[in-house]
Structure 1
Amino acid sequence: MHKPALPAVGADTFNDQIRIVLVETSHSGNIGAVARAMKNMSLGNLWLVNPQSFPDETSYARSAGASDVLDRARVVGSLDEALEDCVLVMGTSARGRKVPWPVIAPPAAAGIAREYAGKEPVALVFGRENHGLSNDELQRCHYHIHIPSNPDYSSLNLSMAVQVMCYELRMHYLRSLEGGKESPYLKSMVEPGDEGWDVAPATAGDVEGFFDHLEQVLVDVDFHRRNNPRQLMTRLRRLFQRAKLDQMEINILRGILTAVQKSAGTNDKTNRDDASVPEQDENHV
């Protein structure tokens, strides 16, 4: 049985929940151009991770009247801070990776973002002008977005890439106003964040805490060596990101890790304190 069509998600909801995140932008004019692209498509939630120069005259000049988007922009010191409360993270990637990751085109990314945007924050992450997002940054994403440009000339300006995604998001919103057909990108399964799911989805901050704890336990039991990591943590990240964990699942997994540390005699009190499973929920596991 397919999901019924989602109710229309208002422009204000998209404004609040769709987060455009730019990482270490080197040219402030690109920030202004991104603000213009966002406002064209009724988006206004801009986050900047360590921009080289902002705010400045160039960014406001290039925004061409989208100064309100720049006025509200959040400047943070790390990508983790920008993603802390997000339940869905998608990053743009122009190149293949040694370890394959779920890759989707912009229309599919917009469809998935629309599913979540009425409920929890969604982050679309764009990298540096000269070399995009690092492998570590891309591993924090549930999906990688690939814009299928001309392979002989595939370089896209930062604001152009943002414009492509903002346009796709806008089209999904407009189609929802028509009260029309179910989007082909909506899935028939129920998952964290959907109506009927019993626990809220895990945030990016929750998931990062789990990965840090998991790596430490694997080091503690001599399964993983940080000085010779190979691809172990990358593949484990891919495995758990596919699962789209909820908050209770994170608690359970961290409780297991704490028990392993205790049994091995390497228990970390900090991990134990924030990883325990609430007693009242144990009967529902």
Structure 2
Amino acid sequence: MLDPIRAEALKFRRHRATWGLVWIWPIGVTLILSLAIAIQVAKGEVGRPESAAGWIADAVGFWNVPLEPLGRYLVCAFVAVVFAGEYGWNTWKLIVPHRARSSLIAAKYVVALALLALGFALGAILFNLLSWLKDLATGTPVPPDLGTAALVKAHGLAALAALGPLLLSVAYTSLAAILTRSTIAALVIGLVITTVERLFRFFAPMLEPWAPGLIGGLYQILPGYHLANLAEWLTGGHVLVIPFPSGPFSMAPAASLAIVAAWTLALVVLTFRLFRRQDIN
């Protein structure tokens, strides 16, 4: 199992897709905040003092990226290259005879998730470091009661809130890649599903009067609400209540976690099963 992981890591460690879709987060944070610091220093601007809670809330704001459409779209793009690239490069026929198919797909999941996690983690670390340097450069006082433990805890909860959307985006797109054998098709399917998932969460209350049973049932089963509910519970400490015409809708975090986990596991298992039976020649 380690050999496929090493091979996959070697392949994508310096791949153009990794630079453009994974390392873009730490690189982008560095460039944008460095420019912002330079502009503020040149203008002599001094930021407003913040409370420790406000500073921490701003510091963990980077973890909203995997929750937003742009972040999830770039995740889909990277996963499409990782899983469908072998078909475009016509290399599966050279690899499959020498390795168990399950280990090849597992290696892709391990490397893709590890690189994505590293990219987001580096982005969050640099975001915090440069935010602190910005305060120093502009003479903005850092809250004296800012505690390391509170900051680390907030980052941990925000990262956990981002984990569900990240895993589901990977699961959607990897399955699409195996089904279509095309990087472009996998990317399009991943983008469409991610967009529809988000739009349905927002527009379902308006659609409920037209088909109450159907809309309500889909809202409970599909993962869109449950991802938002888990994020709200982890970062805000309370469940997400949606005002439907028929009455407010909410679910316990444990139920949302079970539904998101079931969707993710089902999609990944289906990906493994389809690839094991696929004719590569």
Q: Could you state the TM-score of these two structures normalised by the residue count of structure 2?
A: 0.32
Whichever structure has more helix as a proportion of its residues is 2
Quick one: higher RCO (CA 8 Å, sep 6+), 1 or 2?
2
Determine which structure has the larger strand proportion and give its number: 1
Larger radius of gyration: 2
TM-score of the superposed pair, with normalisation by structure 1: 0.32
